[in-house]
Amino acid sequence: MQHKRKNVKEKDSFKSATVFLKKFFEFEESKPLTALIALFIGSSIISPHFLTWYNQRILLLQMAPLAMLALGEAAVILMGSIDLSPGSVMALSGTVAAIALVYWHMPVGVAVVVGMLTGALCGLINGLLVTKAKIPSFVATLAILVAGRGMVLIITGGTPVVGLKPFTFLTSDIAFLPSMVWIAILATIFTFFLLRLTKIGREVYAIGGNEDAARYSGVNADLTKVIIFTMAGVLYAISGLMMNARLEVAYPWTGWGYELDAIAAAVLGGVQLTGGVGSTLGSVIGAYILTLITNILILLGVNPYYQWVVKGAILAIAATVLTRGLRYVK
């Protein structure tokens, strides 16, 4: 009798555990989160240096700018578009802010605003190219990728802008963490709730899910696209400012190739490239995974060139898991 009761109890706890797991995997972010936890535990085991406060702090500092790019990129991809301009926009915004501070002797606060406006303008142009000129987002943002980088090189003459000490308020600690980490956390919460709880967020998912149906339902898809591209531009600009703070120099080649990291972060985070499925929170998890991989490989003393191969392999594996069940893809 006693024995039997114990058995039932065990069964119950087993049942509640499966229910919990089932519930957990209903969340869109559960797969990337599981991968992240696994990588985190694995890294803690292989390297004694990984799970130290010092290392985790560096990891977060490295991750914050990428997280900002991933947030903007994810919002754009959720609409079924794509943005190739994050790297160039972050560089241009950061450089303009640096020039405003150093050459135009503006207060740092104003320089920050100027940088963010630069990002907003780039995003606005992206949005208008897509909705008004009706250029597919891949091509429109490719144009900004190229032209944006050109602008950076023109205004800097190809040489770095130095003396960006005032920007380091972004790396200084507030409540145990660098302020830019807090900014990234706030931006994550903001975009997550913007997309999940507000009218425009709902419209983003509707456009990504089925643009025809959304338009036939009275969604002003063009307006939504312009707003989201512009918002993404601002997020990239903040990323550029974070880079200024971290390096105290604005390099003209900052963010070169970062658009690929941003897209990879979104995909790793479960955002479907066709749009309509995923969340910005997922993309931040993706950004964390990418940064963690770099970090652990460095800790293990692996030749930095291998990082790219490992990242590529992980992206391919993740994408395979995510596209299971599709007949074929392009």
**CB 52 → another protein: shortest distance, Å?**
41
By C-beta, is 54 or 216 nearer to another protein?
216
**What's the token pair of residue 266?**
């979104």
What is the rounded CA–CA span in Å between residue 283 and residue 71? 6
> Nearest-CA neighbor of 83 among 215, 261, 213, 276?
261
By C-beta, is 85 or 191 nearer to another protein?
191
Answer for which of 29, 203, 259, 261 binds another protein (CB under 8 A) is 203
What is the rounded CA–CA span in Å between residue 49 and residue 196? 38
Answer for which of 117, 277, 310, 319 binds another protein (CB under 8 A) is 277
CB atoms within 10 A of CB 165: 11
Q: Is 30 in the site for another protein (CB under 8 A)?
A: no
**CB 207 → another protein: shortest distance, Å?**
9
**CB 206 → another protein: shortest distance, Å?**
5
Instruction: Give the CA angle between residues 163, 166, 170 to the nearest 5°.
Output: 120
**CB 208 → another protein: shortest distance, Å?**
8
What is the rounded CA–CA span in Å between residue 19 and residue 99? 56
Q: Which of these segments, 155-163, 209-217, 302-310, 315-323, binds another protein (CB under 8 A)?
A: 209-217
Task: Note whether 98 and 161 are within 8 A (CB).
Answer: yes
Q: What is the dihedral of CA 205, 126, 101, 150, to 10 degrees?
A: 140
Q: Show contacts with another protein in window 214-233 (CB under 8 A).
A: 214-220
Q: Which of these segments, 41-49, 181-189, 204-212, 291-299, binds another protein (CB under 8 A)?
A: 204-212
Specify the 3-state DSSP secondary structure of 15: helix
By C-beta, is 57 or 215 nearer to another protein?
215
Q: Is 209 in the site for another protein (CB under 8 A)?
A: yes
Q: Is 328 in the site for another protein (CB under 8 A)?
A: no
Answer for which of 1, 175, 197, 329 binds another protein (CB under 8 A) is 197
What is the rounded CA–CA span in Å between residue 128 and residue 328? 32
What is the rounded CA–CA span in Å between residue 154 and residue 296? 37
What residues make contact with another protein under the rule CB under 8 A? 197-200, 202-203, 205-206, 209-210, 212-220, 276-277
